[in-house]
Amino acid sequence: MRISIIGCGYLGTVHAACMAKLGHDVVGIDVDADKIDRLSKGRAPFFEPGLDELLTSLQATGRLSFTTDISIAAGSTAHFICVGTPQKRGENAADLRHVDAAFASLLQYLDAGDVVVGKSTVPVGTAAGLADILAERQPEAHLVWNPEFLREGHAIEDTLHPDRFVYGVPGGDEDHRAVAVMDEVYAASIALDTPRMVTDYATAELVKTAANSFLATKISFINAMAEVCEAAGADVTRLADAIGLDERIGRHFLNAGIGFGGGCLPKDIRAFMARAGELGADQALTFLREVDAINMRRRTRVVELTREFCGGTLLGLRVAVLGAAFKPESDDVRDSPALSVAAQLQLQGADVTVTDPRALTNAARRFPELNLEPDLDACLANAEVVLLLTEWEEYRQLDPHLVGRLVSAKRILDGRNVLDADKWRTAGWAYRGLGRPNA
């Protein structure tokens, strides 16, 4: 099938590459000429494991091309809208200007029978509004809402082998013409019995925001337990292991630490609250305010804990921060808890050096005032306290004896609770986790 993908960010680029891998003839379209230039050369504009290799291997097939020219979308059967929906400046609501612009510019190139597929995360009600516009401008084209559930760092696997497909179509009609087109797009996964649900537009939109809200709630729940564990002298990691054995609870997404960040969970729960308010259902989501507050409190807690750990003052304290990305296997620093903590420490007078295997270029753009050091040993040299804030594998595997020779004081704060506390303590370190006993 010929497919156009509008928006070549984290979502669109991976989707374009995966659709081409499945055998479709794909064009990726974006307004950013630099991005398109890089992609045309087979290079992703961000780090995602396996993506550069996939783009390079697809170049030889001729099935994947990139352009800034939206008119090339003409002739495609399915048109995926994959543009970003960031948080509005100074407000909780989502900014839909990229979705509206992409949709408006696509309209004139649509033919009868074409399917426009919305993948961007949008407030409930957006699809119905776009469908009304489509009905006026090209009544014989269709709109499907097909939310995306990929995780950065696992994006290719999640796109090729998702847990489920959700198609939102008018009235949730299984026999809608667009359903057959979507089944053809995803034929390879559907053949593997991937569950596929057809719903109405509003349900499809809500599936996405509800899923991210649930994940955010799970993380904030365990972080709230970490606060209680700290007060009671208990260990939140053992608590999570024990409650996670109950299948109804499950151990996934119960890792207490410095909280969630990134381009999705924080802004999605805020946009969801804003939309519920517009719908008169704000009371239903007031708990998400608490989820957000618990999450933001984690960052302050790490700053306070560092101060307390190092004798009561941050002034002039040499701090080595391991990690800048919002999570490992990503160079994404949007709303990164690690950078937010590093910046706070620096503001309060500490001498902070941050390292990360992939995210320093992006970190420099967002926080030009931070001292960024690509070399891990150089970052650790003479540190008076080490903060592990993004759990890259190479930081999990650090040898406390070797690191002990580089630093000037053996203090480590494990912001992700991933280190073996006994091993570090035995090697002579003062170790602090979050929600774990001091000794």
Contacts with ligand UGA by CB under 6 A lie at 121, 148-152, 212, 215, 219, 253-255, 257, 259-262, 264-265, 268, 326-327
d(CA 349, CA 314): 6
Please give the Cα distance from 377 to 312 (Å, whole number).
26
Q: How far is the CB of 261 from ligand UGA (least distance, A)?
A: 4
**Kind of pairing, strands 430-433 and 165-168?**
unpaired
Sheet holding 411-414, edge to edge: 371-372, 351-355, 318-322, 385-388, 411-414, 430-433
Query: How is residue 96 written in tokens?
Result: 């839909």
Specify whether the CB–CB gap between 14 and 150 falls below 8 A.
Answer: yes
Say which residue the tokens 């307004």 belong to. Answer: 31
- Using DSSP, state whether 196 is helix, strand or coil: strand
Place of tokens 């290079």: 43
Please identify, using beta-carbon distances, which residue of 28 and 266 lies nearer to ligand UGA: 266
Beta bridge partners of 3: 26, 78
Q: Rounded to whole angstroms, what are the CA distances from 180 to 26, 81, 176, 206, 232?
A: 19, 19, 7, 22, 56
Count CB-CB contacts under 10 A for residue 368: 8
Residue among 8, 18, 82, 264 flagged as catalytic: 264
Q: Give least dist CB 179 to ligand UGA, A.
A: 22
Q: How far apart are the first and last CA of the chain?
A: 61
Of 109 and 149, CB closest to ligand UGA: 149
Taking the least distance from each CB to ligand UGA, the nearer of 178 and 236 is 236
**Least distance in angstroms from the C-beta of 309 to ligand UGA:** 21
The alpha carbon of residue 78 and the mean position of all alpha carbons in its chain are separated, in whole angstroms, by: 25
Active site residue 310: no
Pick 76 or 336: Cβ nearer ligand UGA = 336
Radius of gyration of the chain (CA): 23
Q: How far apart are CA 345 and CA 321, in angstroms?
A: 10
Provide the minimum distance between the beta carbon of 92 and ligand UGA in the complex, in angstroms, as a whole number.
16
Q: Which is nearer to ligand UGA, 70 or 434 (CB)?
A: 434
Cα 2–Cα 22–Cα 50 angle in degrees, nearest 5: 120
Q: How far is the CB of 358 from ligand UGA (least distance, A)?
A: 14
Q: Which is nearer to ligand UGA, 29 or 219 (CB)?
A: 219
Closest CB to ligand UGA among residues 109, 253: 253
Q: Which residue has the tokens 């993380």?
A: 219
Tally of CB atoms within 10 A around 312: 7
Closest contact distance (angstroms) between CB of 145 and ligand UGA is 14
Shortest distance, position 418 Cβ to ligand UGA, whole Å: 11
Residue (2 or 151) nearer to ligand UGA, CB: 151
Q: Which two tokens stand for residue 385?
A: 């306290």
Q: 3-class SS at 413?
A: strand
Residue 262 DSSP label: S
Which 3 state secondary structure label does DSSP give 388? Answer: strand
Q: How far is the CB of 265 from ligand UGA (least distance, A)?
A: 5
Which active-site residues does the annotation give? Answer: 264
